[in-house]
Structure 1
Amino acid sequence: MTTVEPAAGTEEFDLGRLLAERGAERYELHARHLNHQLPRMLHTIGFDKVYERAEGAYFWDADGDDYLDMLAGFGVMGLGRHHPVVRKALHDVLDARLADLTRFDCQPLPGLLAEKLLTHSPHLDRVFFGNSGTEAVETALKFARYATGRPRVLYCDHAFHGLTTGSLSVNGEPGFRDGFAPLLPDTAVPLGDLDSLARELKKGDVAALVVEPIQGKGVHEAPPGYLRAAQELLHRHRALLIVDEVQTGLGRTGDFYAYQHEDGVEPDLVCVAKALSGGYVPVGATLGREWIFKKVYSSMDRVLVHSASFGSNAQAMAAGLAVLSVMENEQIVAGARATGSLLKSRLAALVDKYELLSDVRGRGLMIGIEFGRPKSLKLRSRWTMLQAARKGLFAQMVVVPLLQRHRILTQVSGDHLEVIKLIPPLVIGEREVDRFVEAFTAVMDDAHGGGGLMWDFGKTLVKQAVANR
């Protein structure tokens, strides 16, 4: 096998040296060349950390201090960072030098990954591989509209399904949609409201309902029985059920898919992404029924009617196969169920102790912690001040000390929401539960005790919110 030598007078690319020489410029480079508001926001809330390395559920900074990750890259790092099995699979596939992406052959890895993925939803038959969750949703929208011959897709209030134009059309958060109209002819219905769903279906132009079994924004679970009843309604009107498992799938909620917590639910299309990547190579998948795929790809003339240039690439497929292998061999789903139950019960026990804490909800390792209006006069006046400036500031006041004082990374679960969402790597255990609960308890003690530092930071957030109006 021949190798190509670098031309005389040129140097080989050295990534390590480049990072050593210029890694310290990371925030400046981002501000200059990328989204300039991101470094500004991170600096304002004190999240402008410099993480040097990561492993499993932890980051480390230059001083060697560890940080517990309760965010998992918005759910991408289901197995934590740099899982050795996934890492090895990627080395192996690169070393294999496969004839990848020729476009006019059938490589083995996509078929093998599809076969393995479909074993977890045996009522489905085929898979389309793209590069992200939003592509998985776009695929489902296109397939549903073509298969039914109808234009309209229903979605739920406060849903999040992606930010490309099609997926944005079924996004229930106005803040993401504002300024990007016109979008697709789609309509929102309240999560759990079967009467609203029935009214829309009677109009006869609905292709599908797309729904998250547990909404990422606010961590709101579909009411018991809703998915099955919605499925029956949809099928009665010859419409399809699309379930978005981009964040809730692959063990996150303590079952392989979140829709499987409810008996009798068999979606027509299922969207998967995030954790299937192993945190390395972007990958999305749309699983569907045979008749839908056969209708879309109805002839050889339509063989490329829906495709993706990098879809089914060897690195993504190898990562997905390795992820599913690890999930099976390390019993990741059962672990997420047990650890999630422990974490949720420990946090729920604090609701009666702290008047600012109103609810703990979720399934498995997808947990929402909601804050609410306190009863005592002193705390109520401070709460009112924050709410008047901008809803969601108290949750931000909790997230910041969790990182700055306790080195735990979390997130506020959506704009203007007083909810923290916990979606840690599924590999965490009792040690990480103890660390989080102890830190969260300390932050709550500080807030209820009138801790100066925390409420002083609240004043900073209020000033920032007022300035941005």
Structure 2
Amino acid sequence: MSIDIKSLFAENEAGRYALHTRHLNEQMVRVLKTIGYDVGFVRGQGAYLWDRAGDKYLDLLSGWGVFALGRNNPKVNDALRQVLDSELPNLVQMDVSPLAGVVAERLLARAPWLDKAFFANSGTESVEAAIKFVRAATGRAGLAHCGHAFHGLSYGSLSLNGDQIFRKGFEGFLTDTVEVPFNDLTALEDALKTKKIAGFFVEPIQGKGVHVPDDGYLKGVQELCKKYGTLFVADEIQTGVGRTGKFFAIDHWPGVEPDLVLVAKALSGGHVPVGAVLTRKWIFDKLFNRMDRAVVHGSTFAKNDMAMAAALATLSILEEDGVIENAAAKGERLAASFRSMIGRHELMKDVRGKGLMIGIEFGEPKSFALRMSWHALETANKGLFSQMITIPLFKEHKVLCQVAGHGMNIVKLLPALTLTEDDCKWIEDSFEETIAAAHKVPGAAWSLGKTLAGHALKSRAEA
């Protein structure tokens, strides 16, 4: 008897939180219940989710950017069904995959200065592979990264993270790592001139906080890396594959040609995890330099036919359906709309990003009543105000989004790249009403803030 997945989901839907409390992450269940996100999503299509009550939501998280094409894209689904129906000789291991060859060819066409691709199962695995590549290629052990960077959560990638919330309690990271401020070429040169740094890992646009560099920064990074013999690694795991309105975020700055480009997330089509390292032949050949080293690095499920089919479908959809162009146009519209709100709402301080990777930053207001309320929240827990935006957006406007990083008053938009004009209006109207409500003291928004502050203080006392 075949298993009935649809029925199994339906039978256990109502008890999902009890199951996770008993067998999985109980703290995540507590978080969802505390902020009122425990609605129980039962269906996803495109940029939308539906809960058990039948309410429709606009998802601005897209699985941390995985669902760039939206959920259950029919072309991706069809590609996966074809693999299952074709009885392909998947993962023979003592063979090579035709589909992987085609994916590599099409990805490298987007970075014509690079020659080789290495496939992995995720963004973190891609970072781990890149660490080995840069060390093997240069004969150096040192690694450099930026403050507030996020490169993954396994030990190698975690060693390159600049946010202590992810590092605390896991000490014992890779040695010979150095952190430099993002967008600071002077600090980078000070680190590189030791000639001990194998690779400098940097997100072209930082995911935590949505920080966009100055126009000359990445070109300057490239020049400094070349000068001191360090390899330039662009982590495009979140920013790549159309997210910023270009295929790669580095494409916004002509002439920027990193030695390694890392991709994942959106390449999966939202279904089958896949990551890739794109690099120069001479770097690749330093790792795989002899026949007896042909398997010196790899991953059991990398290059599997399901992942490769999902990647091929994704690349085809991006090219054929104008998805990247849509991301650029809708991102420009939303950013302009948000910037127009700054003059009307004193709590809004900045709007930044490219394409459909947008950060909205809030900061201390000038008016006395708002300022006092702001300080009370910040004292309870830094960055708490942003939850006064995200929670009403979810509960009252059915818009799912989240903060851009721990302790930040920055709300981040990372939606499907298939947003429509109606979706943009939904977003604009929802943010306008929510932000306006947050300027009323006393008011419902600040009553929520008081409740959140109470939870924060209680959690601190329990810690």
Same fold by TM-score greater than 0.5: yes
- CA deviations 1:153-207 (Å, max 9, x no partner) are 1000000000000000100101111121211121100111111111111212100
Q: Give how far 1:450 is off.
A: 2.6
Structure 1 Cα separation of the partners of residues 224 and 10 of structure 2: 59
Distance 1:210 1:236 in 2: 16
Decide which of 418, 421, 429 is 2:409's aligned counterpart.
418
Does the 8 A contact of 2:346 with 2:365 survive in 1? yes
Residue 358, structure 1, aligned to residue 349, structure 2:
yes
1:35 equivalent among 16, 25, 30: 25
Q: Name the counterpart of 1:135.
A: 125
- Choose the corresponding residue for 1:97, options 69, 87, 96: 87
Counterpart for residue 6 of structure 1: none
Residues 331-370 of structure 1 mapped to structure 2, 5 A cutoff: 331-370=322-361
Alignment of 1:325-404 (within 5 A): 325-404=316-395
Judging changes above 3 Å, is the alpha-carbon distance between structure 1 residues 12 and 93 closer, same or farther for their aligned structure 2 residues? closer
Match for residue 48 of structure 1 among 20, 28, 38: 38
1:159 is matched with 149
d(CA) in 2 for partners of 1:177, 1:96 = 44
Residue 216 of structure 1 corresponds to: 207
1:81 matched residue in structure 2: 71
- Partner of 2:8 in structure 1? 18
Matched, 1:114 2:109: no
Per the alignment, in what secondary structure is the counterpart of residue 359 of structure 1?
A: strand
CA distance in 2, matches of 1:88, 1:119: 24
**Map of 1:309 onto structure 2:** 300
| C-alpha deviation, 1:24, in angstroms | 1.4
- Equivalence map 1:237-256=2 (5 Å): 237-256=228-247
- 2:273 aligned with 1:286: no
Q: Distance in 2 between matches of 1:232 and 1:416?
A: 34
Deviation at residue 273 of structure 1 after TM alignment: 0.3
Q: TM-score, normalised by structure 1?
A: 0.97
CA distance in 1 between partners of 2:39 and 2:3 (Å): 27
Please list the CA deviations of residues 208-236 of structure 1 after superposition, one character each: whole Å capped at 9, or x if unmatched: 11000110000001211111111111111
Partner of 2:225: 234
SS of corresponding position for 1:150: coil
Which of 120, 129, 148 pairs up with 2:138?
Answer: 148
2:173 is the counterpart of 1:183: yes
- Specify the alignment match of 1:59 in structure 2: 49
| Alpha-carbon distance in structure 2 between the residues aligned to 1:451 and 1:365 | 34
CA distance in 1, matches of 2:56, 2:35: 20
Cα displacement string for residues 375-417 of structure 1 (whole angstroms, at most 9, x for unaligned residues): 1111111001001111111101100000000000001111100
Whole-angstrom distance in 1 between the partners of 2:440 and 2:168:
40
Match of 1:5 in 2: none
Number of residue pairs aligned between Structure 1 and Structure 2? 459
- The residue aligned with 1:195 is 186
Kindly provide the CA deviation profile for residues 27-78 of structure 1, in whole angstroms up to 9, marking residues without a partner as x: 1111111111000001001111111111000011233221001111100000
State the distance in 1 between where 2:203 and 2:262 align: 10
Instruction: Report the counterpart of residue 440 of structure 1 in structure 2.
Output: 431
What amino acid is aligned across from residue 373 of structure 2 in structure 1?
R
What is the identity, as a one-letter code, of the residue corresponding to 2:47?
A
Identify if the C-alpha distance between structure 1 residues 275 and 451 changes in structure 2 by more than 3 Å, giving closer, same or farther: farther
TM-score, normalisation: structure 2: 0.98
| Distance in 1 of aligned mates of 2:233 and 2:26 | 36
Q: Distance in 2 between matches of 1:235 and 1:369?
A: 35
Q: Which amino acid in 2 is paired with 1:80? A: G
Alpha-carbon deviation of 1:14? 2.0
Other structure's SS at 2:397 match: coil
Partner of 1:127, secondary structure, is strand
SS of equivalent residue, structure 2 residue 83: helix
Name stretches of at least 5 consecutive residues in structure 2 with no aligned partner: none
Stretches of 4+ aligned residues off by more than 6 angstroms: none
How far apart in 1 are the matches of 2:444 and 2:19? Answer: 31
Partner SS state of residue 405, structure 1: helix
The CA distance in 2 between the partners of 1:60 and 1:196, in whole Å, is 48
Q: Does 1:71 align with 2:61?
A: yes
Q: CA deviation at 1:451?
A: 5.7
Is 1:268 the counterpart of 2:250? The answer is no
How far off its partner does 1:16 sit?
A: 2.3
Pick one of 286, 302, 312 that aligns with 1:295: 286
Structure 2 distance, partners of 1:425, 1:12, is: 33
Going from structure 1 to structure 2, the CA distance change for 1:451 and 1:429 (only over 3 Å counts) comes to farther
Say if 1:450 and 1:142 are closer, same or farther in 2 by CA, change over 3 A. Answer: same
**1:53-112 residue CA offsets vs partner (Å, 9 max, x unmatched):** 110000112332210011111000000001110000000011011111110011210001
Aligned residue for 1:68, secondary structure, equals strand
Amino acid at match of 1:327: L
> Partner letter of residue 468 of structure 1?
S
CA root-mean-square deviation: 0.9
Tell me the secondary structure at the aligned position of residue 50 of structure 2.
Answer: strand
Percent identity of the aligned residues? 50
Which residue in 2 is equivalent to 1:3?
Answer: none
